Amino acid sequence: MSPKPPEGKPRLVILGGGFGAYRLAMGISCRLYDVTLISPRDHFLFTPLLASTTVGTVEFQSIMEPLRRVQKGIRFFVASAEQIDSSRSVVFCRSHGESTDKGFEWPYDLLVIAVGAVSQTFEIPGVAEHAFMLKELSDARRIRRKLLQCIEEASLPHVTAEERRRLCHVVVVGGGPTGVEFAGGKSSDGAKK
């Protein structure tokens, strides 16, 4: 696949696969631009429902949309942008496949950086080392597994009441939309979480 654009079309490179990148890729005219979307994950994630996947109210596949199908005519690479050389108008990327971990350069005329943000710990001691972040599907799956493990363990007949309370105790750090939704939501059976 050549990075050379069709005659007269500016090469637009979009970095990221979140709300900003996805919306731009959906609405951009491929007749006017040669569009390349580069994201380290192969799907758009509807994060407002991410907290609901941790307790099974919403299933994981319900909040994902493949980036490869965002719009016909858009070139898509699963890769991470590692560096931008604005003097040469190229992005240095790295793919992370099972059979390859290779870097490549991709040229651009226009560059949109829509890579999102990282979870904050607010420098609260112990959060970075012990907490589960909730930003990706893998995070939600890990939280769901841990919650189910704790519930199963708490239901064993030999577990003391004190240990059962400890196993069923959940602390949420952060009052953003995801933290509030996780802390205040209901499980799939309607019970308070």
What CATH number did the domain enclosing 15 receive? 3.50.50.60
Q: Are 47 and 109 members of one domain? A: yes
Of all residues in the chain, the percent with pLDDT exceeding 70 is 90
- Asked if the structure places residue 4 within a domain, the reply is no
Rg of the chain in Å (alpha carbons): 21
* Residue 181: per-residue pLDDT: 80
- Asked if the structure places residue 190 within a domain, the reply is no
Average pLDDT in the 4-33 region?
A: 92
* Residue 175: per-residue pLDDT: 74
Element (H, E) at 110: strand 110-113
* Residue 176: per-residue pLDDT: 77
Mean pLDDT over each residue of the chain, to the nearest integer: 89
Q: Are 18 and 93 members of one domain? A: yes
- Asked if the structure places residue 3 within a domain, the reply is no
Number of structural domains in the chain: 2
Q: Are 45 and 74 members of one domain? A: yes
Average pLDDT in the 26-53 region?
A: 95
- Asked if the structure places residue 93 within a domain, the reply is yes
User: Could you say which of 82, 113, 144 is where a domain stops?
Assistant: 113
Q: Bridge partners of 12?
A: 35, 110
Farthest CA pair distance, the chain = 73
Q: Exposed, middle or buried: residue 179 (CB in 10 Å: 0-12, 13-18, 19+)?
A: middle
- Asked if the structure places residue 192 within a domain, the reply is no
> In 3-state terms, the chain is what percent helix, strand and coil (to 5)?
30, 20, 45
In the numeric block, which tokens belong to residue 3?
Answer: 């990075």
Average pLDDT in the 8-19 region?
A: 95
Q: Which domain holds residue 92?
A: 11-113
At residue 5 the predicted structure's pLDDT band, cuts being 50, 70 and 90, is low
Q: Are 19 and 109 members of one domain? A: yes
Average pLDDT in the 174-188 region?
A: 72
Dihedral sign for Cα 21, 24, 30, 33, please. negative
Average pLDDT in the 14-33 region?
A: 96
d(CA 59, CA 92): 35
* Residue 96: per-residue pLDDT: 73
d(CA 143, CA 147): 6
24 compared with 95, residue with greater pLDDT:
24
- Asked if the structure places residue 176 within a domain, the reply is yes
- Asked if the structure places residue 1 within a domain, the reply is no
**Digit-coded pLDDT (tens) for 90-123:** 999 999 776 667 899 999 999 999 998 888 888 8
